[in-house]
Amino acid sequence: MKKLLNNNDLNEALYNVSNLGFVPTMGSLHKGHISLIKKSKNQCSKTLVSIYVNPTQFNNKNDYKNYPRNSKKDLSILKKMKVNFVYLPKTQDIYGLKSKAKIKLNKKEKIMCAKFRKGHFEGVIDVMDRLTKIIKPKKIFMGEKDYQQLYFVKKNIEKKYQTEIIGCKTIRNKQKLALSSRNILLNKSQIIKAEKFTQKIIAFKKKIKTIKVTPQIIDKKKRELSKLFKIKVQYFELRNIINFKISNKIKNSKIFVAFFIDKVRLIDNF
């Protein structure tokens, strides 16, 4: 495994590499990241994993400061997986050169995380644009767990670069909780709470599979879950997976949710 500590290292290492698979991460790697890396290794001749906690996508300074970082363990995981390249850029490598492209979400897109985390997706799209330009991968592997992120990156990158964005399914623990780097910030009883909350949503989805779903039914469930678990549910919405319109049936739709376990904000979709 080659460690690429700056853009010079990267350009030298990637000279002559075609069919490159790229897995962008913010580190604190878990089995979700590992599944993306495995997919890249299957589909591409070489795989590059980046670890970079991108400051511009955090809408809250403390969240950025407290974001889990564990590079020693990350590097040992990547080495074990025989990843070809790990890119560990400094902010200068990403933001040193060109100025920020004008990124604007349209009105219809300012929903869910885009509504509650102002500037978040603009930061994500910008950093993914820069990373794609620097790395020039054939394919980028990203998780459906961050479904809105996957949508925005696919929309903005595929029209500009000859790079394909591949969505990969969400990896969960045995109790159905989606793996997330942020789970490290939770203690055991908080994890159990998040697991039980997740299981309730999965059961609810099964229950409404064959009925016409009104916004009232969804809203009632949101309030019920919030009360039952004594947590803040930021949004809980049934939306079409292609156009993100509010949906009245499970077919072609997903329940999208953001919730707080004390101060830790988690997202998921079902």
CA–CA separation, 130 and 190 (whole Å): 36
Under the criterion CB under 6 A, does residue 32 sit at the interface with ligand AMP? yes
Angle at 141 between CA 132 and CA 112, to 5 degrees: 90
Q: Does 135 bind ligand AMP (CB under 6 A)?
A: no
| 178 versus 231: smaller Cβ distance to ligand AMP | 178
The verdict on whether 30 is a catalytic residue reads no
Helix/strand/coil for 105: coil
| Catalytic-labelled residue, pool 20, 33, 93, 122 | 33
Sign of CA dihedral 151, 153, 158, 162: negative
Q: Which of 127, 171, 231, 267 binds ligand AMP (CB under 6 A)?
A: 171
Q: Does 112 bind ligand AMP (CB under 6 A)?
A: no
Position 35 contacts ligand AMP (CB under 6 A) = yes
Task: Give yes or no for residue 47 binding ligand AMP (CB under 6 A).
Answer: no
Give the range of 39-47, 61-69, 176-184, 228-236 binding ligand AMP by CB under 6 A.
176-184
Contacts of 269 (CB under 8 A, 6+ apart): 144, 145, 147, 170, 254, 255, 256, 257
CA separation for the pair 191, 263 (Å, rounded): 13
Restricted to residues 179-198, the positions that interact with ligand AMP (CB under 6 A) are 179-181
The reply to whether 139 sits near ligand AMP by the rule CB under 6 A is no
Site membership for ligand AMP, residue 265 (CB under 6 A): no
The phi, psi pair for 239, rounded to 5°, reads -135, 150
Q: Taking the CA of residue 46 as centre, how many other CA atoms within 13 Å lie in the half-sphere pointing to its CB?
A: 17
Residues in contact with ligand AMP by CB under 6 A are: 25-26, 32-33, 35-36, 142-143, 145-146, 168, 170-171, 178-181
* Residues designated as active site: 33
